[in-house]
Structure 1
Amino acid sequence: MARKWVKGVSLSLSTIIMATAVAGCTGTAGKEATAPQGGATTGAAEADGKISAKEREVTVTFPEHPNQPVKNMAPVQQEILKLTNIKLKFETVPNSNFNDKKKILIATNNLPDIIQVDMNDINSFASTGVFLPLLQYMNKGLMPNFKKVWDQNPDMAKLTADGDLYGFPAIGRNEQKNGFGPIIRVDLLKKHNLATPKTFDELLTVLAELKKIYPDSSPFSARKGSGPIHQLFKTMSYMLGSGVGNGNGIYYDKDVNGGQYVYGQGTPEFKNVLGYLNKAYTMGVLDKDYAVATQQQWTEKLTSGKAFFFMDNSGFALDYTKQLQKAIPEGQLQLIPIPEYKPGKARAEFYATTITNDRIFAISSKAKDPETLVKLIDWMYSEKASNLMNYGVEGVHHTLDAKGQPQLKSDYVMKFKDGQPTGFYAMYSDLGSGKLSFTPWFSNSEPQVQVEKLTGNWSDKHEEFWKIIENDKAYHDPYLDPPLTKDESSRVKEILVTLNTMLEQEYDKFIMGVKKLDEYDAVMKKARDSGGAELEKIYNGALARLNQKK
């Protein structure tokens, strides 16, 4: 088994900023695989043989998602060792505890060879020297696969800090677009003649009706998020007319002055978000345990019929419906179009399907022989490596079709027909593969579709799910934040420590009604005066500077 870090680690936000880790999302696709935005299909290291002259162990730390247990020396790791002479040792951290552990590792400069971070970490800590700067290696020609991605994607510049690149972003391979979305028990709507809600107000009305019919239920269930900003805000704020970005409060709002950065919690729009959640809580619609519920508890309520609605990774609907139908055969959790937050206004963001800024693999500046680690990760952006790290070993777990694209072998996939929580997660866990593992060029959608079809779990409900997303014009692609200078990053870090420490203890008081909503006006003003307004100035200035260079 992979080495696991112990739960329960804590560190004061007054000393280190909290970052956000995002779990994997589900998807589907039916397109041919291509190199990442024109990336190479082979590289110098791959062509010349093994990356390391002798066997070397490399430690890698990333969050372990509860859906996909991690084990060391799974088939993918074994094949990587065979091909490169590098033995990957995974030192995983439970997803719920990853941010705490990551903060300590970064703050003490006690990093593994490779660690999963996000742009909040890069902006906050690159200036301390804990992460290896990469452009020097690209300029030496040691990153041929990744450089092709870099050259063909101008937005990659947004992943830099103070003019350098400090990590390799996870890049999607033919990913179907998906995102946070509203999931509801459509079978109950039909059974009780309730119309599909088209606005957020109608949503509360419908859930309140279900609460009357099923008084022991918790219609609107949620899970506790990690970081200083609750999962409810991450999933709902933008749809309700505000936003919290990638967990630090600052976000790009296309509807403000033609598009600009806003510090969400310092605006009246965020007060409206709190008011909406307070109303849901007061009505008895929002689960009383929303602030502490684990993912397991959240899942149990949704799959046992005790909860009827959630706003989160909409792909969970497909997995949870299958589990729900074991207890309630007619039960169906299905995505509905994004409700309007005011007349004629509905909006939502897709997950990043190509370049991600929340899953970045950084190399420790103290790592032994960093050049070899750079070559290793660069090799992982080759098609051969991507096939291996998403589909397993060729000839054993998959074959290549006439177009040279990987197709999972039925005899292997059928071993996971009844896998938990799903067949594809069970297969990923067995292989040591996919987006939730250490996979810089990941394919999350296509293997899942293949597994669902080979195991007979694909249905018209899956087709309906993806058509709803495809036809919903409320969704748009996400925005990558502009790069910051060293001084800007340092100042952002200082501001966020202050703001997060101040605000983290306030949110639930307003949702639960401990404080009256009008009292948030004072909190809002204090948030802006304590740095929220300055954050907006920094990010809008950085965006203007980037646009001038184009």
Structure 2
Amino acid sequence: MTKTWGATAVAILAVAVLFGCFYRLLIGDTELPHRLGADGFPVHERTIKVMFSETDNQKIRANTPIQQEIAKRTGFRLMYTAVPTSNYNDKKKTLLATQNAPDIMQIDKQDVNEFSSAGAFLPLMDYMNRGLMPNLKKLWDENPDLIRLTVDGELYGFPAIVRDEAKNGFGPVIRMDLLQKHHLPVPRSFDELLDVLKRLKELYPESAPWSVRKGTSQLLAASSYMLGSGYNVGNGIYFDKDKDGGRYVYGPASPQFKNVLTFLNKAYTSGVLDPDYAVLTQQQWTEKLTGGESFFFLDNSGFGLNFTRALRTAHPEAFFQVMPIPEYAEGKARAQFYMNTFSGKMFAVSSKVQDPESVVKLLDWMYSEEAFRLMNFGIEGVHYTLDGNGRPVYKKDFVETFIHAQPTPYYALYSELGCCQLSFTPYYSNTLSQFQIEKMTGTWDKLNEEYWSLIASDPAYRPSVMEPPLTKREAARAKDIHSTLNDMLDEQFDKFIMGLKPIEGYDQVIRQARELGASELEDIYNRAAARLNSDKESVR
């Protein structure tokens, strides 16, 4: 009996020592993924719930190779809850309002402004200042604009940072083969664009030449800046470099926004803009453009390359291509690149999470070179190898298994691995990995070369500008104004686009928006921008 008890005690002590070592690893060692059990697996495992949005293009799978490998290297098993993009904002806001947020969830700057003061998110600056976030700190120091993500100097989410990104943005994309077939010019202005689309409607009476995804808000976000005003999805404030040397403007409360609605009204009443534009889903949008019912879109222009491949299964000569940005007024054309460092989304840790320090270290590890390779290219030797410069390159035999996959080889590969921009990947590659896959599967051709060249050489494109950092008081006031304005405006836009109200009546909407706080909102953002610039000057 004594010997048996002694052996048991030794076994218990050994387990306790192993657990203690791993706990110290998890809590006190910034090199978290490198010290595991002798078999390469963690001593124990912890489940972390992560919620983020899911697109139609890249379905989220459970227990992907990357999730399994993260569990092996760190002891954290990531349990994903993927919510369709169309429902994500409603689900997110409900969970935040009821204080039922998961351990980690995808948020944006607007969520930070609205919910940080309620204590929903774990504040991160103390962890960074204590040296517990060395990987993000390095990127933070290299990208000073990331300070714009803070409120009152506090950071409430891990920003999704992109690496080696080619420039891209919203752009006008048209069926160039139809222009060539019918001897129609490539439009140089929005007026000419409308004329060309009207002509296509005459030639194809059953068509809806201009198709839209995700409704009115997406239509306004994609088109307003190019038409001389500005709008972001669910948020009318934007930075206008052409106003007084550059300032924040509440787009829907500006006279220029009438021009946006006037153009969209002409497109709608002439039969050019899809009559169902306000309710079309992304899938319906895709089906119309790839099925030959629609010929033009103004959105993420890169979709045109995928649509062309789908079209050519039935129409070998058909192709979409991005146009040079049309002029919205004589000699004036403008568009914006997507932000090519920060994607716009963040991953917040719940303030109620157990053992927050270990979760912070897990997320910080995801900005390391090791994690970047894993979470974007998979497992070395299985899914990728390193080239002579130490850069990850997918293995050709692995990539070639996706040649015929839908909706595209790269989206199918990303879904299989659980990687890249549309997954839970705080430090991701997008065009870097996409280009590799397209070239290995033979889907990269002259059309791709032309597309990326047109984007890079068009002088109308300008870098995007992030919102300035607000104080908590400013953020709370901005939240109230945004809510009031959205309630009033959301029901107005379609009335003017569809012609249910004459465009002259929008002057009253502008006055009402100003009375409800649009001017105050502009002041809040412009004061915050001036304060940020002053702080930068003082550092110099």
Provide the residue aligned with 1:474 in structure 2.
460
> How do 1:196-211 residues align onto structure 2 when only pairs under 5 Å count?
196-211=186-201
1:65–1:95 contact (8 Å) kept in structure 2: yes
Provide the residue aligned with 1:17 in structure 2.
none
2:210–2:296 contact (8 Å) kept in structure 1: yes
Aligned counterparts of 1:141 and 1:110: Cα–Cα separation in 2: 30
Provide the residue aligned with 2:139 in structure 1.
149
The letter of the residue matching 2:425 is T
Provide the residue aligned with 1:3 in structure 2.
none
Aligned residues: 505
Q: Deviations over 1:444-491 (max 9, x none)?
A: 112111111111111000000001001101111110111000110000
Aligned counterparts of 2:341 and 2:44: Cα–Cα separation in 1: 34
Q: Deviations over 1:376-398 (max 9, x none)?
A: 11000011101111111111111
Q: Deviations over 1:154-175 (max 9, x none)?
A: 1111110122000011111101
Structure 1: give runs of 5+ residues left out of the alignment. 1-41
| Aligned: 1:371 with 2:361 | no
What SS is found at the alignment partner of 1:59? strand
| Aligned: 1:504 with 2:490 | yes
1:168–1:440 contact (8 Å) kept in structure 2: yes
| Aligned: 1:530 with 2:516 | yes
| Aligned: 1:360 with 2:350 | no
| Aligned: 1:223 with 2:209 | no
| Aligned: 1:306 with 2:293 | yes
Q: Residue 191 of structure 1: which of 158, 165, 181 is its match?
A: 181
Aligned counterparts of 2:314 and 2:360: Cα–Cα separation in 1: 49
Aligned counterparts of 1:542 and 1:456: Cα–Cα separation in 2: 49
Provide the residue aligned with 1:460 in structure 2.
446
| Aligned: 1:430 with 2:416 | yes
Aligned counterparts of 1:304 and 1:409: Cα–Cα separation in 2: 34
Provide the residue aligned with 2:394 in structure 1.
408
Q: After TM superposition, what 4+ stretches of structure 1 lie above 3 angstroms from structure 2?
A: 46-53
| Aligned: 1:441 with 2:431 | no
Q: Residue 260 of structure 1: which of 235, 247, 252 is its match?
A: 247
Provide the residue aligned with 1:70 in structure 2.
60
| Aligned: 1:318 with 2:300 | no
Provide the residue aligned with 1:24 in structure 2.
none
How does the TM-score come out when normalised to structure 1? 0.90
Provide the residue aligned with 1:167 in structure 2.
157
What SS is found at the alignment partner of 1:542? helix
Aligned counterparts of 1:285 and 1:246: Cα–Cα separation in 2: 23
Q: Residue 318 of structure 2: which of 328, 331, 335 is its match?
A: 331
Q: Which structure's CA Rg is the greater one?
A: 2
Give 1:151 deviation, angstroms. 1.6
Aligned counterparts of 1:57 and 1:301: Cα–Cα separation in 2: 42
2:220–2:232 contact (8 Å) kept in structure 1: no
2:218–2:233 contact (8 Å) kept in structure 1: no
What SS is found at the alignment partner of 1:73? coil
> How do 1:238-277 residues align onto structure 2 when only pairs under 5 Å count?
238-245=225-232, 247-277=234-264
Aligned counterparts of 1:549 and 1:244: Cα–Cα separation in 2: 28
Aligned counterparts of 2:30 and 2:314: Cα–Cα separation in 1: 51
Indicate the larger mover: 229-238 or 435-444.
229-238
Identity of aligned residues (%): 57
The letter of the residue matching 1:243 is G
| Aligned: 1:45 with 2:35 | no
Aligned counterparts of 2:68 and 2:382: Cα–Cα separation in 1: 13
Q: For the structure 1 residues 485 and 179, does the alpha-carbon distance in structure 2 shift closer, same or farther, using more than 3 Å as the test? A: same
Give 1:401 deviation, angstroms. 0.9
Provide the residue aligned with 2:14 in structure 1.
none
Aligned counterparts of 1:200 and 1:433: Cα–Cα separation in 2: 38
Let me know the Cα RMSD of the aligned residues.
1.3
The structure, 1 or 2, with the larger RCO (C-alpha pairs under 8 Å, 6+ apart) is: 1
The letter of the residue matching 1:430 is E
The letter of the residue matching 1:277 is L
What SS is found at the alignment partner of 1:175? coil
Aligned counterparts of 1:413 and 1:96: Cα–Cα separation in 2: 30
The letter of the residue matching 1:397 is H
What SS is found at the alignment partner of 2:456? helix
Aligned counterparts of 1:310 and 1:549: Cα–Cα separation in 2: 41
2:66–2:417 contact (8 Å) kept in structure 1: yes
Q: Residue 171 of structure 2: which of 142, 160, 181 is its match?
A: 181
Aligned counterparts of 2:375 and 2:303: Cα–Cα separation in 1: 23
1:266–1:527 contact (8 Å) kept in structure 2: yes
Q: For the structure 1 residues 535 and 53, does the alpha-carbon distance in structure 2 shift closer, same or farther, using more than 3 Å as the test? A: farther
How does the TM-score come out when normalised to structure 2? 0.92
Give 1:245 deviation, angstroms. 3.5
Q: Deviations over 1:185-206 (max 9, x none)?
A: 0000000000000100000000
Q: Residue 267 of structure 2: which of 277, 280, 288 is its match?
A: 280
Structure 2: give runs of 5+ residues left out of the alignment. 1-28
1:44–1:144 contact (8 Å) kept in structure 2: no
Q: Deviations over 1:296-342 (max 9, x none)?
A: 11100100111000000111011110001112111101111110100
Q: Residue 383 of structure 2: which of 375, 387, 397 is its match?
A: 397
Give 1:247 deviation, angstroms. 3.4
1:124–1:489 contact (8 Å) kept in structure 2: yes
Q: For the structure 1 residues 224 and 263, does the alpha-carbon distance in structure 2 shift closer, same or farther, using more than 3 Å as the test? A: same
Give 1:49 deviation, angstroms. 5.0
Indicate the larger mover: 237-246 or 170-179.
237-246
Q: For the structure 1 residues 142 and 49, does the alpha-carbon distance in structure 2 shift closer, same or farther, using more than 3 Å as the test? A: farther
1:245–1:252 contact (8 Å) kept in structure 2: no
Aligned counterparts of 1:327 and 1:129: Cα–Cα separation in 2: 55
Q: Residue 61 of structure 1: which of 38, 51, 74 is its match?
A: 51
Indicate the larger mover: 104-113 or 44-53.
44-53
2:113–2:475 contact (8 Å) kept in structure 1: yes
Aligned counterparts of 2:79 and 2:422: Cα–Cα separation in 1: 16
2:258–2:503 contact (8 Å) kept in structure 1: yes
2:172–2:296 contact (8 Å) kept in structure 1: yes
Aligned counterparts of 1:152 and 1:214: Cα–Cα separation in 2: 52
The letter of the residue matching 1:159 is L
Q: Deviations over 1:501-523 (max 9, x none)?
A: 11111110100011111111101
